[in-house]
Amino acid sequence: MLLELSFSLVMFHLGSPQVCTGPAGSILQGDKPIISCTCSAVTGWKSDHGGQVEGTGAVTARFDSTNASPGLVTITPTCSGHVHANPVLIVVGAAPVPTVGCSANPSTVRVGDSSTITSTAMNPQNRTLTYSYSAYPAGAISGNTSTATLSTIGVAPGVITVTCNVVDDRGASASMPTTVTVVAPPPQ
């Protein structure tokens, strides 16, 4: 359940408000919203629950919430002249992770033959996915899209575990294995 909160705080210094604002509503881990302040320059930012504020000197910055803990994050700016502005309160929700299925066709091949490996991946937010594959204990894999090819040239008969991996553009990942059985060719 994603909690949505909205805050507006103003701190005064010598009668002048130093107002800083962030995104309205909540964000997800990996989002990078803009934070802005009315002071002449920001000399520093502090985040209490992870994430990183990118940019000082200007009155706007970007909050990278990739490594922020889900929940309420308080970002405190320091304006030039060591004036503290109001904290910016941001509700960070956990980003949904991608899912992946993995299959091999055919799942049994002769030594030297190939198998097509297919990743069936989904990201709940339709984020860009990057595919990769690994084979253990042997075999060579080519391809980095939703399909790849396992080559068994020079491989001894046995079972190869192929792992399909996906990573979204926020760094969230998922993996799933499948197996390919390699059999000896019939005697000639």
**What CA–CA distance (Å, rounded) separates 81 from 88?**
19
- Residues 71 and 114 reside in one and the same domain: no
pLDDT at 16: 56
pLDDT at 118: 98
**% of the chain surpassing 90 pLDDT:** 48
Residue where one domain finishes, among candidates 93, 114, 129? 93
How do residues 114-156 score in pLDDT, each as one tens digit? 999 999 999 988 889 999 999 999 999 999 999 999 999 999 9
d(CA 178, CA 125): 26
Considering the chain, what percentage of its residues have pLDDT values greater than 70?
88
- For residue 134, what pLDDT is reported? 97
Mean pLDDT of 98-119: 97
Which residue segment(s) compose the domain that 89 sits in?
Answer: 11-93
pLDDT of residue 5: 41
As a whole number of Å, the end-to-end CA separation of the chain is 64
| Same domain? 31 vs 78 | yes
In a domain, 63, yes or no: yes
Report d(CA 75, CA 20) in Å as an integer.
Answer: 10
Q: Cα(109)–Cα(72) distance, rounded to whole angstroms?
A: 53
Measured distance CA(180)–CA(109) in Å, rounded = 7
At 3 the pLDDT is 41
160: tokens are 């190869």
Write out the two tokens for 129. 């996915």
Domain count, the chain: 2
Give the separation between CA 188 and CA 179, rounded to whole angstroms. Answer: 27
Average pLDDT, the chain: 86
- Output the domain CATH number for residue 34: 2.60.40.10
Alpha helices in the chain (DSSP H): none
3-state helix, strand, coil in the chain (%, to 5): 0, 55, 45
Say yes or no: 157 and 112 in one domain: yes
Q: Are residues 48 and 116 in the same domain?
A: no
> Is 108 within the bounds of a domain?
yes
Residues 74 and 109 grouped into a single domain: no
Could you tell me if residue 4 is inside a domain? Answer: no
User: 136: how many CB neighbours lie within 10 A of its CB?
Assistant: 11
Final residue of a structural domain among 50, 74, 93: 93
Residue type, 69: S
55 and 118 in a single domain? The answer is no
Check whether residue 17 and residue 60 sit in a common domain. Answer: yes
Report pLDDT for 36. 87
Global confidence as pTM: 0.65
State pLDDT tens for residues 6-43. Answer: 444 444 444 456 788 889 889 988 889 999 888 878 88
Q: Give pLDDT, residue 11.
A: 41
Asked if residue 4 has pLDDT above 60, the reply is no
* Residue 96 pLDDT grade (very low, low, confident, very high; cuts 50, 70, 90): confident
Contact 61, 34 (CB under 8 A): yes
